[in-house]
A = this chain, B = another copy of it.
Amino acid sequence: MSNRNTELPSCSSNVVHEEIVARVNEEMPREESLYDLAELFKVFGDTTRVKILYALFAAEMCVCDIAALLNMSQSAISHQLRVLKQARLVKFRRQGKVVYYSLDDDHVKQIFDQGLTHINELA
């Protein structure tokens, strides 16, 4: 994912609508926000992680429970929980040997619901 900064564009510039490009450029959010946004959605862009988050919408669960629910290995779940943890989407508490995970964010559900709305309207 490299972004070289060469100078002018690829098309011959009499086709580029300079005013529009300039105006849109003004209205674009900061580069960093766009990057962070893509990073957030990247976390949501995996079936396993989506399933884990939906599971945690319903209840706090231990790693073992989640693995059982999704019929996947403990290791796979643990790796993905780490991703969710790093994105600050889940939190956890330890109780003896067992680690319980739960949601650490209020927006996820809303974002997912919006996404489902979009999907359902396509169908």
Q: State the number of copies, please.
A: 2
Q: Which residues of B contact A44 (CB under 8 A)?
A: 37-38, 41, 44-45
Do most interface residues of chain A lie in helix, strand or loop, or is the interface mixed? helix
A69 x B110 contact (CB < 8 A) = no
Contact of A118 among B3, B23, B105, B121 (CB under 8 A): B105
Contact of A27 among B35, B58, B88 (CB under 8 A): B58
Give A102 to B47 CA distance when docked, in angstroms: 28
Binding site for B on A (CB under 8 A): 1, 3-6, 8-11, 13, 15-17, 20-21, 23-25, 27-29, 33-47, 49-51, 54-55, 57-59, 61-65, 67-69, 71-74, 88, 97-98, 105, 107-108, 110-112, 114-119, 121-122
